[in-house]
Structure 1
Amino acid sequence: MASDKDTSAKDFYEDEKHLMKLCDFLRSSEGPPVREAIEMDKRVYYIKGEKLVNFMVEPKKGTKWPKDLPKFKSRSEVIAVCKNLCSRQFMHRSEKVAKGELEVSRVRDFDESAYFTWIYEGNKKISHLMTTCLIIGFLCCTCFPIWPNFLKVFVWYMSVSLLIFIFFLITFRALIFLFVWIIGYECWVLPNLFDEQLGFCESFVPVISIERTKEGQLMYRVGVFVAFFSFCYWAVTQPSEFDGFVKGQGDFIKDLYAGTLLSDVSQKDKENIDKPKMPSLEDLLKKLDSEDEEEKELSEEEAAEALLNSLVEDEDEAESDEE
């Protein structure tokens, strides 16, 4: 047991289950920092052996070491466990070939001066679950035409509601930034919201950020202040146009959520709004008949024109013979 004094950390981590728990801790946010690189056309995470050993011997301040895992008392114990990690394929030794690029080393032994790439990725149950949900969601989207009508309406309203929320959120963030920037500060609500390099939870941290603006922007701030409030004054002093715009937007949103946005469309067209518009056989025959009639009319006109031209030529020849 981990609590027995006679059992050393080296012996404890001989068990593969305990070794996996140690790797789960080392690969978590509490573990040592790692770097990203490309190895065999795949993005991997690597760490230098010395940094890994230093962390395991003496974790950084504030690190919450798991209670069910014994701490290491010497560097020799850590090196022995790291060798065990390499032998059991939890990590492998790598060599740098270029900036941000690694290749698998032929040497397998653990060395503090070398670099080691993590192979262990932890419990994959959540990843498999997310992959399954993604596949099911994709199949549901491709089967959208055969969905029940109430589900189509629900998805429509949810999509439009999300778009309206994002529009107002972006507008709110921009207005807050503009008002605060005018007085000399840069203020962003949810500054990392649209950062594609961050995860979902990290995109909402921090909630707000405030920094002083760079020097030399005073004239720009004064210009934006004058332009913005001049536009606001113009909009307020134009009641007919501004009120009409506001009323139109309000009516649009009301019709959207009341289900009367397509009130001027027949019920048949509403039900078949998502179906492809394929012409029927009767429509195709009518189109062919109309094309034949047009060609016939054109041929008759060409014949009449040719006859008229021939008559004109005969008259010209007769006049030339008389002369």
Structure 2
Amino acid sequence: MVANGSREFYDDDKNLMKLCDFLRSTEGPPVREAVEMDKRVYYIKGEKLVNFMVEPKKGTKWPKELPKFSSRPEAIAICKELCNRQYMHRSEKVAKGELEVSRVRDFDESAYFTWIYEGNKKFSHLMTTGLIIGFLCCTCFPIWPNFLKVFVWYMSVSMLIFIFFLITARALLFLFVWVMGYEFWFLPNLFDESLGFVESFIPVYSCEKTKDGQLMYRVGVFVAFSSFCYWAVTQPSEFDGFVKGQGDFIKDLYAGTLLSDMSQKDKENIDKPKMPSLEDLLKKLDSEDDAEEQELSEEEAAEALLESLVDEEDEEIDEDAEE
């Protein structure tokens, strides 16, 4: 397909959708986020869109099945077609990060345009269906067969142990390199909640020189860590016991025997709400009555003691008066 025939090529709605898929992909021109009609949208300035279509940024992989644009009028004509077929619409800025639909429909390079086209929704629908099915499966967990419960338990424990060792290894690696004067992180964005799933693993590592004034801290950490390592080597019996204890802990974790001090009935009902029975309530009432009676008996004893003391004082006063 030659460039001169690009106008006729994009008259086909399927080919125009392919162009939109490319423009909305990560290879396409950068877009900005805003709120329009209480909905998050992506918009771009018309001039930037035309510039990208005529002269893509360096390193862009233009699809082979799509013809390139040889001139700006040709790209502007396609942009007008995108607006006419409602793949995008013209918008106006009303505030920072807020847009509203413009009454003007024509394409203009100086205006802003909001994408309406969202691409193929099959994957989104598939993920939504999977989410619903997963939620139903989780709510039906009590009636799962026993082998599936065991599988989920082993998978959960394995994931927990993997995450624990990953965090520990990242921290130790950072400590070793930091002592030498550099800040090295393996998967530095792993716990950044503002990033998506894929972006959390990019970049794989980061290495920067430490800031000035940390020499004494690095020396102190090195001395403390070296002292701990020396203690671990010179106390083989205690260290071996620690290793054995950790191994037993992992075995018990996989076997599900960490709650061995509980009865089998308590293990089976561990996820059920604890509702006191009638017998427990009666026992609680009896204990409260006994406590009240005990308090009353203590008060009576105190009153009797006070009365006896008063009587003794009265007798002593009478004896002094007789004398």
The alignment status of 1:280 with 2:316, answered yes or no, reads: no
Secondary structure at 1:11's aligned position in 2? helix
Q: Deviations over 1:105-155 (max 9, x none)?
A: 332211111121212111112112222222333333344444444444433
Are the equivalent residues in 2 in contact too, given 1:145–1:274 (CA < 8 A)? no
Secondary structure at 1:285's aligned position in 2? helix
Counterpart of 1:290 in structure 2 is 287
Query: Structure 1: 5+ residue runs without aligned partners?
Result: none
Are the equivalent residues in 2 in contact too, given 1:145–1:275 (CA < 8 A)? no
Counterpart of 2:75 in structure 1 is 78
Counterpart of 2:46 in structure 1 is 49
Secondary structure at 1:8's aligned position in 2? helix
Q: Distance in 1 between matches of 2:318 and 2:261?
A: 72
Secondary structure at 2:79's aligned position in 1? helix
Q: Distance in 1 between matches of 2:106 and 2:29?
A: 21
Identity %: 81
Are the equivalent residues in 1 in contact too, given 2:43–2:114 (CA < 8 A)? yes
Counterpart of 2:25 in structure 1 is 28
Are the equivalent residues in 1 in contact too, given 2:3–2:68 (CA < 8 A)? no
1:173 alignment partner, one of 170, 175, 187: 170
Counterpart of 1:37 in structure 2 is 34
Q: Distance in 1 between matches of 2:62 and 2:25?
A: 11
In structure 2, relative to structure 1, the CA distance for the partners of 1:311 and 1:202 (3 Å cut) is: closer
Are the equivalent residues in 1 in contact too, given 2:157–2:254 (CA < 8 A)? no
Counterpart of 2:258 in structure 1 is 261
Which residue identity is paired with 1:47?
I
Q: RMSD in angstroms over aligned alpha carbons?
A: 3.0
Q: Deviations over 1:217-250 (max 9, x none)?
A: 4444333322322232233334454443333222
Q: Distance in 1 between matches of 2:251 and 2:149?
A: 19
In structure 2, relative to structure 1, the CA distance for the partners of 1:310 and 1:99 (3 Å cut) is: same
Which residue identity is paired with 1:194?
F
- Residues 236-247 of structure 1 correspond to what in structure 2 (within 5 A)? 236-247=233-244
- Residues 3-152 of structure 1 correspond to what in structure 2 (within 5 A)? 3=1, 8-152=5-149
TM-score by length of 2: 0.84
Q: Deviations over 1:171-190 (max 9, x none)?
A: 11121222222223332222
Q: Distance in 2 between matches of 1:313 and 1:232?
A: 74
Q: Deviations over 1:37-82 (max 9, x none)?
A: 3334433222111111111122223322223322223222211111
Q: Distance in 1 between matches of 2:316 and 2:178?
A: 91
In structure 2, relative to structure 1, the CA distance for the partners of 1:233 and 1:40 (3 Å cut) is: farther
Secondary structure at 1:260's aligned position in 2? coil
Counterpart of 2:191 in structure 1 is 194
Are the equivalent residues in 2 in contact too, given 1:48–1:112 (CA < 8 A)? yes
The alignment status of 1:183 with 2:183, answered yes or no, reads: no
Alpha-carbon deviation of 1:312? 5.9
Are the equivalent residues in 2 in contact too, given 1:85–1:91 (CA < 8 A)? yes
Q: Distance in 2 between matches of 1:111 and 1:221?
A: 59
Are the equivalent residues in 2 in contact too, given 1:38–1:102 (CA < 8 A)? yes
Alpha-carbon deviation of 1:252? 0.7
In structure 2, relative to structure 1, the CA distance for the partners of 1:103 and 1:305 (3 Å cut) is: same
Count of residues paired in the alignment: 320
Which residue identity is paired with 1:154?
F
TM-score by length of 1: 0.84
Q: Distance in 1 between matches of 2:223 and 2:96?
A: 49
Q: Distance in 2 between matches of 1:317 and 1:279?
A: 55
The alignment status of 1:227 with 2:229, answered yes or no, reads: no
Which residue identity is paired with 1:108?
R
